[in-house]
Amino acid sequence: MITTIVKRDGRTAAFQVEKIASAIFKAAQATGGRDYDTALDLAKKVAEYLDSEEHQTAPTVEHVQDVVEKMLVDNGHARTAKEYLLYR
């Protein structure tokens, strides 16, 4: 299970699925979405995907964001993925 993430400045921080859900929800809101539960479910899928990868170190913020985009597109949320790209 992933417990930390490497931020852009090199510091490590606690991995929080809720932060991912919040970012997804904000992008969804930009397209008219109002379902936080869906954002949370997608964030959990991101965490599961990251857990399935073999990491020697904690994932970077950029890698997590790439996985978020992948999960959004793979789960039929292409418009939200586009907004997420603009958000990040």
Q: For residue 41, how many other CB atoms are within 10 A of its CB?
A: 14
Q: Report the C-alpha gap between 59 and 43 in whole angstroms.
A: 15
Distances (CA, A) of 71 to 21, 35, 56, 62: 12, 16, 22, 14
Confidence at residue 29, expressed as pLDDT on a 0 to 100 scale: 97
27-71 tens-digit pLDDT: 999 999 999 999 999 999 999 999 999 878 899 999 999 999 999
What pairs with residue 14 in β-bridges? 4
What was the pLDDT predicted at 67?
A: 97
- Please tell me the predicted confidence (pLDDT) of residue 1: 86
pLDDT of residue 50: 96
4 within 8 A of 61, measured Cβ to Cβ? no
State pTM to two decimals: 0.93
